[in-house]
Amino acid sequence: MRRLLLAVLTASAVIAPAAASSNDASRPKPAESSIAQTATPEVRNGREIFSSFLDGRADPGCDSEHSDTRWEQHFSRAPARLADDAQDVLPLFGYVVDELREADMPTEFALIPFVESGYRPGARNGSGPAGLWQFIATTARNHHVPVGAQYDGRLSAVDSTTAAVRYLKTLYGMFGGDWRLALMAYNAGEYRVLQAMRSAGMNAQNARPSELPGMSKVTYEYVEKLHALACVLDHAQQQGNLLTSLDRPVPVLTEHALPAGTSLNAFAGQRDIEPQLLARLNPALASARAAPRGVHVLAPIAPAQPGATGALVAAAETDSNADNNAAAPTVVAAAATRASRPQARTTHTVRNGESAWAIARRYGVTVTTLLTSNGLDKRAVLKPGMVLSFEDTP
């Protein structure tokens, strides 16, 4: 879907020398967030992510007159997907927004994975495009993303996002800091956009993307989709419901070097990360027994905790969906029988699909503490309906 990086030398014939200054002027500047910053770098409030997206847009607000209601309806579920804490969309969105802000790029580009893959790192379109950004194999290789039988970097959120941001930054500079022209070039290829501008006697300073001649309907609609999606999110935050739903702790995702020969499960154990979460975020390695050399994984920022092993988490999740309809026992910690204990206790009823890691993270305790406090060992299986009890953290 993405074209190769072409015609860089021809750009000077079309793009005015003032492009650099225009680029600087239109580049989004960081703004003060109205959301209080979290105390630790590992977790942030979901509203911080959304605020960073809003602050980084090249075009604040929504130009409703030029927004296509058809595409607004098509992407109407996007706010709900961001708000759904059962999905990984918000942490992934935060990662992409972070990468764009770091590159000094408009955060409108963070909407591309919504259009391309619905923010699913493992999305495939038959034998064609794949991954978060839906690169075809040829384009991926030309942007230094490895594609092979043992490892497909298109399915790596790290590899594909790095390549996409680098390419978009090139296009953004090439087309004078106009994110819409850069987006059209991302979709159709920069050579085609340059040719259209030349034919119309336009340059990057006076080109009107919606009136650029000779472009395909798909390319025009690509810009319309992102604009409509930006409007959908803008309307949702104005109504307030979205911000309320985003007001929750969200893990900060970043890339980690994965030592050659290390499996995702082993890495999860070393970092006390939920193995299923790691597999969802890194489908390029989900079925691999060991990582090839030089691979990076996307994972929460979480220091390794001595005594917390991946076996504990994996055992707690094994067969978690089995016998969901069976009556689940109530588990009470042995320590709870001590009437003299002054420490207050918290109880939690296990819901369908919850893991020990997720519950421990929610209450700020370790997986080991959660399991041992309830008389559970590493072979225990958490089932819906179980009532877990543990001491409140100081």
**239-267 pLDDT per residue, tens:** 778 888 999 999 999 999 998 888 999 99
CB burial class (10 A; 0-12, 13-18, 19+) of residue 288? middle
Q: Are 43 and 250 in contact (CB under 8 A)?
A: yes
How remote is the C-alpha of 58 from its chain's centroid?
Answer: 20
Residues in the chain with pLDDT values less than 70: 1-41, 302-344, 352-354, 357-358, 361, 378-381, 392-394
Residue whose entry in the numeric block shows the structure tokens 């207050």: 344
Residue whose entry in the numeric block shows the structure tokens 């900060």: 252
Query: At residue 53, what are phi and psi to the nearest 5 degrees?
Result: -60, -50
Dihedral angle at the C-alpha atoms of 68, 71, 73, 74, nearest 10 degrees?
180
Q: Which fold has domain 9-249?
A: Lysozyme (1.10.530)
Residue spans per domain, the chain: 9-249, 306-394
DSSP string, 107-153: GGGGGHHHHHHSS-TT-B-TTS-BTTTTB-HHHHHHTT--B-SS-BG
Question: How many C-alpha atoms does 308 have within 13 Å on its Cβ side?
Answer: 25
- From CA 319, how far away is CA 62, in angstroms rounded? 47
- From CA 98, how far away is CA 93, in angstroms rounded? 9
